[in-house]
Amino acid sequence: MDIKQGSHVDLMIAGGTIITMDENRRILEEGNLLIKGGRIQAVLADDQVPEDLTAEKVISARGKVLLPGLINAHSHLAMTLFRGFVEDLILDKWLNKVWEYELSVVDEKAVRAGSRLAFVEMIKGGITCAHDMYWHFKETMGLAEEIGVRLISGPPITGLGDQDFDEMFQVARETLTWMEDLDFVYPVLQAHSTYTTTPRMMRTVRAFKEEYGISFTTHASENQDEVDNVREQYQKSPIELLSSYDLLDEHTVLAHCVKVDEGEIDLLAATGTHVAHCPESNLKLGSGIAPVVDMLEKGINVCLGTDGAASNNDLNVLGEMRTAALLQKGVNHAPEVLTTDQALEMATINGAKAYHLDHMIGSLEAGKKADVVLVDFQQPHLTPSFDPVTNLIYSAAKSDVDTVIIDGKVHLEGGQLTRLDEERVMAEVRDLEGLFDGR
């Protein structure tokens, strides 16, 4: 978009180092970001800014680094309620304990409180868009609209609990229609996993996916027990089973993919299937380390997710980037793999590509939505800064996030939330702790 003499913008972020994540991966020192109507008007060097440009608001970014809003590509947001609730158990035992309480005590009020806490935590950590798969999903969607934060969500398809098949898909159809009027929520079809669904459910999901033309996501091959159990039941691995349902393609995002072999990686690459890597959750549950380097070498688009706060135990994509990079270097005995540039791609543009939102978010470019994060580099642990991307991946903490802008609106400024009452949100969640007294 052209910025002409006499132009007026809503917001100018001036004088920061801008990591654009555009196609050329440009980094501008002392750059300026111009925002109007919720979109980026221009990314300019100091000498390109018209002298008579005016702005409703100017934010000085001297000593700060600007980057696209981080994307949490796989999570269960209201599971903030279960933070620290079940610890030191393998996946299936952990799941059974959590499911027991989810099905008995987690209601709409609890989900609303837990999701609001998740949004507080994520905004403070520079996350401007998140995927969510959870119960009472309309509560979280409504919150996203109310707060003005981007959410990728939809009704979860699962055999858990006492759900009627026809009713479940009728709710899904009604929800997808209702979602058409939402501004900040993007629809995705989602099934929990191959081991909590039936072939009939998954074939119906495939039909819905074709009918609505939207993305699909599910958990897949998270640990060896899952793979063994699915193979025993269906004589196929989770990846092979999803392929038999015709659910592997460029509109599918698979969470985890920890236990996948070379043939399965080739299959994911050939079909254009995306992978949401959740390194810290996989480590904490003892599930293993996903072969991310092999996936990247085969051209698979790998993005980053935190999973839920019950298995992580935070929602911190900055931390996931560091963990992802270090893990792959260690397990491959190769310091050159999973570079800092790749780690940042996984947390930004790759997440946008996975859910086909890269025309709107994931990079700082003219015409895209103004989702911007400013990180304060005036910190001892970020000094010196020979390479801002390197410092972001290996040194930055979420407490260094100074400013967060979503759709051109400031949600965090000077480290302080502007649209949410942090103390009130935490108090609301603490009031629900009695729900878990019987554990």
Distance CA(241)–CA(199), nearest Å, equals 9
Whole-prediction pTM value?
0.97
CA distances from 319 to 175, 315, 362 (A): 33, 9, 18
Question: Helices marked H in 196-316 — which ranges?
Answer: 199-212, 224-234, 238-244, 262-271, 279-284, 292-297
DSSP three-state, residue 65: strand
Q: Exposed (0-12), middle (13-18) or buried (19+): which is 85, by Cβ within 10 Å?
A: middle
| CB 360, CB 407: distance < 8 Å | no
With vertex at residue 26, the alpha carbon angle to CA 20 and CA 30, rounded to the nearest 5 degrees, is 80
- Residues 369-405: tens digit of each pLDDT: 999 999 999 999 999 999 999 999 999 999 999 999 9
- Residues 230-250: tens digit of each pLDDT: 999 999 999 999 999 999 999
Distance CA(191)–CA(163), nearest Å, equals 14
Distance CA(436)–CA(170), nearest Å, equals 32
Distance CA(89)–CA(377), nearest Å, equals 38
Q: For position 1, what pLDDT does the model report?
A: 55
Closest CA to 34 of 52, 64, 51, 59: 59
- Residues 23-64: tens digit of each pLDDT: 999 999 999 999 999 999 999 999 999 989 999 999 999 999
The mean pLDDT value for 84-102 works out to 82
The mean pLDDT value for 181-197 works out to 96
The mean pLDDT value for 302-317 works out to 96
Give the pairing type, strands 274-277 and 252-256.
Answer: parallel
Q: Which domains does the chain have, with CATH numbers?
A: 8-68+365-422 (2.30.40.10), 70-354 (3.20.20.140)
Binned at pLDDT 50, 70 and 90, residue 14 comes out as very high
Binned at pLDDT 50, 70 and 90, residue 111 comes out as very high
| CB 69, CB 21: distance < 8 Å | no
